[in-house]
Amino acid sequence: MSIEAAISELIPLLGDRLSRSKGDLAQHGRSETYFANMLPDAVAYPESTEEVSRILATCHAQDCPVVAWGTGTSLEGHALAARGGISLDLSRMNRVLAVHPEDMDAVVQPGITREALNTELRATGLFFSVDPGANASLGGMAATRASGTTTVRYGTMRDNVTGLEVVLADGRVIRTGTRARKSAAGYDLTGLFVGSEGTLGIITELTVRLRGQPEAISAAVCAFESVEAAVDTVIATIQSGISMARIEFVDASTARAFNLYAGREMPEKPHLLVEFHGSPAGVAEDAERLGELVAEFGGSDFAWSSRPEERNALWALRHNAYYACLGLRRGATALVTDVCVPISRLAEAVEATRADIAESPLEGPILGHVGDGNFHAILLVEPGNEAELAEALRLSSRMTERALAMGGTVTGEHGVGMGKLAYMPREHGEAWAVMGDIKAALDPKNILNPGKLVQRN
Amino acid sequence: MSIEAAISELIPLLGDRLSRSKGDLAQHGRSETYFANMLPDAVAYPESTEEVSRILATCHAQDCPVVAWGTGTSLEGHALAARGGISLDLSRMNRVLAVHPEDMDAVVQPGITREALNTELRATGLFFSVDPGANASLGGMAATRASGTTTVRYGTMRDNVTGLEVVLADGRVIRTGTRARKSAAGYDLTGLFVGSEGTLGIITELTVRLRGQPEAISAAVCAFESVEAAVDTVIATIQSGISMARIEFVDASTARAFNLYAGREMPEKPHLLVEFHGSPAGVAEDAERLGELVAEFGGSDFAWSSRPEERNALWALRHNAYYACLGLRRGATALVTDVCVPISRLAEAVEATRADIAESPLEGPILGHVGDGNFHAILLVEPGNEAELAEALRLSSRMTERALAMGGTVTGEHGVGMGKLAYMPREHGEAWAVMGDIKAALDPKNILNPGKLVQRN
Ligand SMILES: Cc1cc2nc3c(=O)[nH]c(=O)nc-3n(C[C@H](O)[C@H](O)[C@H](O)COP(=O)(O)OP(=O)(O)OC[C@H]3O[C@@H](n4cnc5c(N)ncnc54)[C@H](O)[C@@H]3O)c2cc1C
Ligand SMILES: Cc1cc2nc3c(=O)[nH]c(=O)nc-3n(C[C@H](O)[C@H](O)[C@H](O)COP(=O)(O)OP(=O)(O)OC[C@H]3O[C@@H](n4cnc5c(N)ncnc54)[C@H](O)[C@@H]3O)c2cc1C
């Protein structure tokens, strides 16, 4: 019973789709952020549910760890092979299996990326709404319960995945959910697997909700004199019932990063980036009301655009914000914080974070999906500099403790992985033990992404 | 180790809040529908989480079944004491603990009813959206993953419960979720307990989302010549992106029941009941577009109302539809079906149901939350008439098999209880075993609502 035995057994099944090449191992043993590399012993490239099932049955029998790999963009070391074993790369299972325009859903394989899915949907008048900054895989997004700029309107992966096919630790294949819009038929297994970070099962198929392309879209950028003024505008907007499709905050430092990265000329001040979806009349009405609120909170440089190219450039920039911020310091990597707090505490939380960073030697632009109360500080550190990493961890810890004290969460969207593991007892108390019990029930041998998310060793 | 021993131990704790009176047992041993009575051995009326915890710890030690009781309006025998034991009546834990207008959420105890909650919220400009026909308790609604007429816009209990306090089978108290709008911190335990029908834990506190009272509301009623015309109008409305707050279908037989019950004069034809929420301009635009679609599908008697009294009368009637339908046959009880299918199959599913009922000796009005693809046949039977009950079960079975064949679910909102238990293997396959594993992990002694929802005995 060993990793090597599992690998030997899998060779006849997968042939050269079971790789032990240095390049493959290295590529599947690194992350986008500050974690040290942790290499798998082999990388498997399954092409069907049946193959995933056989791989898991083998690894289960042999006690061999299996770590699913989507596109590897997760930010908390989720997909690192903390105990070695097999990295299960799902990129070859990347097809759209069905689109049902009348029901506004699609059935897809887990390896498809969100951009590829939306490209395939273009002709239908429908789109898939969840958009993390990275061009992540749908399986990875479901596994991390990802969200993005449009979550304030259309929800997270929790709200947009209606059914799954999952291969369990022992190789059994189950289906969760139905194609109906809602169901009260027993425990919400779909919801349980969404956000489970590959620790309870491997997602081999997803049914996702689609949205109608809005009749009209308009977008705006607006600068503010202070963080509070920007955040208070967000709160007032939400409370006035204006329905935003997107409302993003970037601070002065992020604005500077945008200017450097994309040759923009934004004033180096806090900004809101906003978008409305609706009918032409509805969008105009919303825009007018927002304009009034912006003026009330002293916003300036209020620029509207309904031109698609300008809008696309704006959101492309937002989606590249992480790389733009890394550009503020040559060769840097980052620790990305991800707290989410009740909206009523948002201004206070952002302001205290800004003050913490101002006192620290590290640079840390702040930005976020403020309509959800979710924001990130991108703490720039030199790779391998232990003192800087320690300082970044100290800042991150202050932010997470503050978020918990405010009734919030240590991770709004990135997930637990390894980076947030230490906070789980504080955030969940005894409920974390219950997560461990569920893990033990579904993966008694702890072969699925061991060392992540739950309290087991 | 016995029920009697548990009861003896609980007397000092609860005093006269542990009742064994005939009246109490009878009241907690019946349901609203066709199930035979199943009495508990005692009824407990806890007043705090601490008391619930002590009751569960005692019952756990003594292997005594505990069945939570909200208002007892569930339709599948959920709250019947199938194995005796304690009926845990939560009606004394009925307070609003906090309202956070800025965050648009409230923290409530499980025994509060939806009407009582909305009465308390009146001055805040906010409301709680989920509205099953009955004036159910929030705890019961969460436990059954209830939905209602406004789900098409605001979602089910799954979408509107953001956090819980739960007492586990052994008396441990946990908290799930946070007050932030979203979180990616581990398994979605909130979602797991919502819809678990009292089989995994007792809900002692809920954090729920509130919605802003819309600036403008308008409602309409419209008659159609056929079921298809009405359902096709619904599909066209959804696809045209018109955002309805409510869209309800009632068939000719339900219209007749309404006329008898409330002295209305609706034509005995299929109807849609619709409501819009939004800005004055938005609501007007939506109404106009719906009017065009209704005309296209040959609808008539299209009557608009923005007067609150008329609207309230309309929705009160809809909420009383079950009792109105019972009124079609003196002394009847009912088997209420609850399938939910993909919208694209809705017309076909409703039409086939109508045809089944037309061929049967039983009367069965059809109505439903058609915007979600969810509809009910209210099959009227004489209490105690075995032949009629068998016929109703036969009809119900045809409908559920058809829904499954269409990719739908056997229960859109009422839940499993005892009435839908037999369909779980068909709907879930191997996933039902996974539900059983989760049950075993959280309630190893099977004391929580035994005999319901999962595959254990
Ligand atoms: C520039 C940048 C911007 C980002 N912005 C956002 C953002 O706005 N919002 C947000 O939520 N995240 C954001 N992220 C984080 C990341 O994109 C998300 O976490 C994303 O969901 C990860 O998807 P992935 O396909 O890369 O998954 P991976 O990183 O490959 O895997 C993530 C986890 O999911 C598991 N997994 C992957 N596929 C499966 C499967 N099929 N079955 C079971 N488990 C699986 C893995 O084992 C791992 O635990 C950003 C990242 C970057 C680099
Ligand atoms: C006229 C009428 C119309 C209806 N219309 C709808 C509708 O439109 N939509 C809909 O979804 N339902 C509808 N129902 C069904 C019913 O109202 C719902 O199922 C409701 O959610 C039940 O709530 P309750 O408080 O009555 O729960 P109960 O019937 O008391 O209990 C239901 C289940 O939840 C468990 N439970 C109760 N409280 C707790 C708790 N605190 N913790 C853990 N478990 C608990 C019980 O053990 C039981 O298993 C209707 C019923 C009637 C009679």
CATH code, domain carrying B162: 3.30.465.10
User: Across A289-303, B175-189, B288-302, which has the greatest mean pLDDT?
Assistant: B175-189
pLDDT of A189 reads 98
Q: Which residues of A touch B168 (CB under 8 A)?
A: 434
When CB atoms are compared, the residue of A341, A429, A438 closest to B187 is: A438
Question: Sorting pLDDT into bands at 50, 70 and 90, what band is B340?
Answer: very high
In this structure, the strands spanning A66-69 and B173-177 are: unpaired
Query: Tell me, what's the pLDDT at B222?
Result: 94
Residue A121 C-alpha from the chain's centroid: 21
Cβ–Cβ below 8 Å for A343 and B181: yes
CB contact under 8 A, B453 and A103: no
Distance, in Å, from the CA atom of B135 to the CA atom of B70, rounded to the nearest integer, reads: 10
Mutate to test the pocket of ligand 2, among B53, B55, B73, B333 (most ligand atoms within 8 A of CB): B73
pLDDT confidence of residue B1:
59
User: In 3D, which of A80, A70, A16, A63 has the Cα closest to residue A44?
Assistant: A16
pLDDT at B303: 77
Between CA A246 and CA A368 the distance in angstroms is: 11
Whether residue A347 lies inside any domain: the answer is yes
Per this entry, what is the length of chain B? 457
Q: Chain A: give the shortest CA distance to residue B192, in Å.
A: 6
User: Is the same domain home to B113 and B193?
Assistant: yes
Least Cα separation, residue A400 to chain B (angstroms):
12
A104 and A208: one domain? yes
Last residue of a domain, one of A91, A108, A137: A91
Q: What angle do CA B83, B89, B92 make, to 5 degrees?
A: 170
3-state secondary structure B206-241: EEEECEECCCEEEEEEEECCCHHHHHHHHHHHHHCC
**Rounded Cα–Cα distance for residues A4 and A8 (Å):** 6
Query: Could you give the 3-state DSSP secondary structure of residue B142?
Result: helix
Residues 6+ apart with CB under 8 A from A355: none
Whether residue B397 is contained in a domain is answered as: yes
Question: Does one domain contain both B123 and B192?
Answer: yes
**Among B144, B181, B402, which would you mutate to test the A interface (most chain A Cβ atoms within 10 Å of its Cβ)?**
B181
- Inter-chain contact A180–B341, Cβ cutoff 8 Å? yes
Q: Per-residue pLDDT averaged across B121-128, rounded? A: 95
A43, A74, A151, A374, best to mutate for ligand 1 pocket (most atoms within 8 Å of CB): A74
Question: Closest Cα partner for B16 from B54, B38, B42, B40?
Answer: B42
What distance in Å separates the CA atoms of residue B416 and residue B439, rounded to the nearest whole number? 15
Distance to chain A for B368, nearest Cα, Å: 13
B429 closest CB neighbour out of A102, A174, A185: A174
Q: Is residue B424 one of the residues assigned to a domain?
A: no
Residues of B in contact with A438 (CB under 8 A): 187, 192, 438, 441-442
By CA distance, what is B193's nearest residue in A?
A187
> What digits encode the pLDDT tens for the residues A218-246?
898 999 999 999 999 998 898 888 889 99
Ligand sitting nearest the alpha carbon of B184: 1
Boundary-marking domain end, from B277, B296, B322: B322
**DSSP 8-state secondary structure symbol assigned to residue B41:** S
Ligand nearest to the CA of B417: 2
Give the model's confidence band at A82: pLDDT under 50 very low, under 70 low, under 90 confident, else very high: very high
Q: Distance from first CA to last CA of chain B, Å, rounded?
A: 18
Q: Are B345 and B406 in contact (CB under 8 A)?
A: yes
The range of the structural domain enclosing residue B86 comes to 3-91
Atom of ligand 2 nearest to the CA of B31: 29
Is there a single domain that holds both residue A295 and residue A202? no
Pick the closest to residue A85 from A108, A130, A127, A55 (CA basis).
Answer: A55
For residue A45, which amino acid is it?
Answer: Y
What's A402's domain CATH number?
Answer: 3.30.70.2740
Ligand 1 lined by A69 (C-beta under 6 Å): yes
Q: Spell out the SS3 assignment of B309-356.
A: HHHHHHHHHHHCHHHHHHCCCCCCEEEECECECCHHHHHHHHHHHHHH
For chain B, give the mean pLDDT.
Answer: 95
DSSP assigned state of A272:
E
Indicate whether B440 belongs to any domain: no
Residue nearest to atom 27 of ligand 2 (CA): B140
**Contact A424/B192, CB-based, under 8 Å?**
no
| Helix, strand or coil, per DSSP, at residue A153 | helix
Q: Which residues of B311-349 are buried (b: 16+ CB within 10 A; e: fewer)?
A: beebbebbbbbbebbbbbeeebbbbbbbbbbbbbbbbeb
pTM exceeds 0.90 for this model: yes
Nearest CA in chain B to A452: B186
- Edge to edge, the sheet with strand B201-209 lists B96-100, B105-108, B201-209, B161-168, B173-177
Q: Is A414 in the pocket of ligand 1 (CB under 6 A)?
A: yes
Average pLDDT over residues B360-367: 97
Q: What is the identity of the amino acid at B6? A: A
Shared domain for A141 and A63, answered yes or no, is: no
At residue A350, the pLDDT reads 95
Mean confidence (pLDDT) of chain A = 95
Buried b (16+ CB within 10 A) or exposed e, A142-165: bbbbbbbbbbbbbbbbbbbbbbbb
Q: Residue B4 — left, alpha, or beta (φ > 0 → left; ψ -120 to 50 → alpha)?
A: alpha
Q: Is the pLDDT of residue A456 over 80?
A: no
Q: What is the mean pLDDT of residues A351-372?
A: 96
> What are the tokens at B444?
């190893």
Provide the number of structural domains found in chain A.
4
The model's pLDDT over A171-193, given as tens digits with 9 standing for 90+, comes to 999 999 999 999 999 999 999 99
Q: Kindly report the nearest CA distance between residue A167 and chain B, in angstroms.
A: 11
Instruction: Using the predicted structure, report yes or no on whether residue B457 has a pLDDT greater than 70.
Output: no
Is residue B85 included in any domain, yes or no?
Answer: yes
User: Which pLDDT value is given to residue B456?
Assistant: 64
Q: Please give the share of chain A, as a percent, with pLDDT higher than 90.
A: 89
Q: Does one domain contain both B238 and B200?
A: no
**pLDDT tens, position by position, A49-79:** 999 999 999 999 999 999 999 999 999 999 9
Cβ proximity of A181 and B343 under 8 Å: yes
Among candidate residues B242, B230, B193, the one with its CA nearest the CA of residue B442: B193
Q: What local confidence, expressed as pLDDT, does residue B446 receive?
A: 97
Rounded-to-integer distance, Cα A285 and Cα A306, Å = 14
| One domain, residues A308 and A396 | no
- Tell me the pLDDT tens digit for each residue of A311-321: 888 899 999 99
Name the residue with tokens 């929790």. Answer: A158
In whole angstroms, give the CA distance from residue B424 to residue B404: 11
pLDDT tens digits for range B271-320: 999 999 988 888 888 888 899 999 999 998 777 777 888 888 889 999 99
Q: What is the pLDDT of residue B106?
A: 98
What span, in angstroms and rounded, lies between the C-alpha atoms of A144 and A78? 9
Give the residue among B366, B378, B381, B255 at the shortest CA–CA distance from B329.
Answer: B381
Q: Do the Cβ atoms of B28 and B40 come closer than 8 Å?
A: yes
Q: Is the pLDDT score of B146 beyond 60?
A: yes
Question: Does residue A457 surpass a pLDDT of 60?
Answer: no
Asked if residue A372 belongs to a domain, the reply is yes
ipTM of the complex: 0.96
Indicate the top mutation candidate among A67, A73, A94, A138 to test ligand 1's pocket, ranked by most ligand atoms within 8 A of CB: A73
Which of A183, A192, A282 shows the shortest C-beta gap to B188?
Answer: A192
pLDDT value of residue A235: 87
A77: closest CA among A436, A336, A399, A425? A336
Q: Which ligand is nearest to the CA of A367?
A: 1
Token duo for residue B143: 């436990």
Chain A: residue whose CA lies nearest to B431: A174
CA–CA dist A360, A388 (Å, integer): 10
Q: Is B378 within the bounds of a domain?
A: yes
Among A170, A187, A212, the domain boundary falls at A212
Which of B187, B210, B247 to mutate: most A Cβ within 10 Å? B187
CA distance A257 to A348: 24
Q: Could you give the CA distance from residue B274 to residue B249 in angstroms, rounded to a whole number? A: 9
Q: In this complex, do B438 and A341 lie within 8 Å of one another by their Cβ atoms?
A: no
Convert the pLDDT of each residue in A27-47 to its tens digit.
Answer: 999 999 999 999 999 999 999
Instruction: Kindly state whether residues A197 and A278 are assigned to the same domain.
Output: no
**B432/A151 Cα distance (integer angstroms):** 31
- Ligand 2 close to Cβ of residue B333 (< 6 A): no
The CA distance from A128 to the nearest CA of chain B, in Å, is 15
Do A201 and A229 sit in the same domain of this protein?
A: no
For residue B408, give the chain A residue with the closest CA: A180
Ligand nearest to the Cα of B116, by number: 2
* CATH code (residue B291): 3.30.70.2190
Could you tell me if B108 and B164 lie in one domain? yes
> Could you tell me which residues come within 8 angstroms of residue B428 by beta carbon, excluding any fewer than 6 positions away?
A174, A175, A176, A185, A186, B435
Q: What's the rounded Cα separation, in Å, for the pair A73 and A140?
A: 9
Residues A116 and A200 in one domain: yes
Does B277 or A302 have the greater pLDDT score? B277
Residue B232, Cα to own-chain centre: how many angstroms? 25
Nearest chain A CA: its distance from B99 CA (Å): 12
Within-domain flag for A447: no
In this complex, which of A184, A372, A413 lies closest to B413 when CB atoms are compared?
A184
What's the confidence (pLDDT) of residue A1? 60
State both tokens at A287: 């825009």
Pair (B86, B171) in one structural domain: no
Q: How many CB atoms lie within 10 A of CB B37?
A: 12
Sequence-distant (6+) residues with CB within 8 A of A132 are: A73, A114, A141, A146, A147, A148, A413
